[in-house]
Amino acid sequence: MFKKVLIANRGEVAIRIIRACREIGIPTVSVYSQADAGSLHVSLATEAYCIGGNESSKSYLNIPAIISAALISGADAIHPGYGFMSERADFAEICREHNITFIGPSPESMQLMGDKATARKTMAAKNVPITPGTGIITDIEEAKKSAEKFGYPVIVKATAGGGGKGMRVANTPEELEQNINLCRQEAEKFFGNPDVYMEKYLVNPRHIEVQIIADKFGNVVHLGERDCSIQRRHQKLIEEAPSPAVDDETRKKLGEAAVQAAKAANYEGVGTIEFLLDKDKNFYFMEMNTRLQVEHGITEMISNVDIVREQINIAAGNKLSFTQDDIKLSGHAIECRINAEDPDRNFLPAPGEINGYITPGGFGVRVDSHVYSGYKIPPYYDSLISKLMCWAPTREECRRRMYRALKEYVITGVKTTLPFYQDLIENEVFISGNFDTGFMNTYKKD
């Protein structure tokens, strides 16, 4: 096992990793920006180092500073969490060059699956279902011909994209040309790679993702699916596991396809295979997230697997501690992402000081957070305050438990998304479970 793990991240995910390391008995190193000097992840780690200024580019994306902190502290492994360095193949390669274990997949797997056009090609070669699409677009006129063949609408995507950026839907040839150019600009700005590709756009499908874990001995296990269909601008708002739209037969097929996808990429570590599910229960590979997911906690609740602990264990060179036959999914779990945003002002970020903070509790309730009363939410990073997760034997019991927890949750001093979720969780369409990715386009507050 590792002597010491540096966490190249901040906030609640850094604390989640620190806790897993403590339980294993591994000392931890936190890194932090000047803006995060008062963050909880700094005080909970065994030791901590300031690595730069407020902006991410000067701190959490500062590779020389992170590597220096690892070498100074004697850390022999780095956990990237999610976001920031988690899907940077170049960072994983630099870790390798310094004899530091990157707790994640190999740089080669990240490059293969991180380029979404290449990932689609890889999946198609292994008979994993994909939507009709193209490789990297080099000729706009050829792209228009392909779009006519697929049928509109189509969606243009950045090959290195994520987080809803670099994605635009086109309904006409004129829109397609415009959106290719816009997506190229966005891709260059956000990812440093202007390449884009195109695929047939499924109107209002379900967004289903399957959690996988793989070790270096060729063992790959899936932990069931999550439903992430309720989104705003392609960014997830609420997740649940399992999906109310997936029956046992489809679940089995999804799991098998996800395992096949991971094997096709020679994947090692924790990852997520994302699919689109149409109304006839046909599913199509969309992309692979080669990292820990924000919503991994609800899968932990239904599978009784500590995903972060297992991730560290297999990165250290050990075999998976379980097989597919050991996984017995139980009950239902829902997650709400509580952000410092104003729902009444189009979810405008609302940084500031929290002057009152009381979390909900009780059986089946989990709150992953890094804030406290008196904590100042900085304006430089994602506005996530916490992940509120609930588990119960059935979906309806879980939904009612979540409503109870949301009503108990008190955060004062800043605007939050708590009122939005309190209303959404009681919405008739959500209660029915019969929703899709178009939910937020028609959602109206009751």
**Residues catalogued as catalytic:** 291
CB-count exposure of residue 318 (10 Å: 0-12, 13-18, 19+): middle
Name the helix (H) or strand (E) containing 49.
strand 47-52
b (16+ CB within 10 A) / e for 117-149: bbbbebbeeeebebbebbeebeeeeebbebbee
Using DSSP bridges, classify how beta strands 77-79 and 47-52 pair: parallel, antiparallel or unpaired: unpaired
Starting at the edge strand that comes first in sequence, how are the strands of the sheet with 269-277 ordered? 283-289, 269-277, 206-214, 220-232, 235-241, 332-339, 384-392, 365-369
Among the listed residues 130, 104, 84, 119, the one whose alpha carbon sits nearest the alpha carbon of residue 271: 104
Q: Which two tokens stand for residue 259?
A: 């395992």
3-state secondary structure of 88: coil
Other beta carbons within 10 angstroms of residue 381's beta carbon come to 21
CA distance to 153, 163, 443, per residue, from 438 (Å): 15, 17, 9
Going by C-beta distance under 8 Å and a sequence separation of 6 or more, which residues neighbour residue 325? Answer: none
Amino acid present at 239: E
Among the listed residues 36, 428, 40, 422, the one whose alpha carbon sits nearest the alpha carbon of residue 238: 422
Q: How far apart are the first and last CA of the chain?
A: 52
Cα distance between residue 188 and residue 344, in whole Å: 32
CB-count exposure of residue 208 (10 Å: 0-12, 13-18, 19+): buried
Cα distance between residue 378 and residue 316, in whole Å: 34
Please name every residue paired with 48 in a beta bridge, in sequence order, or none if there are none: 30
3-state secondary structure of 176: helix
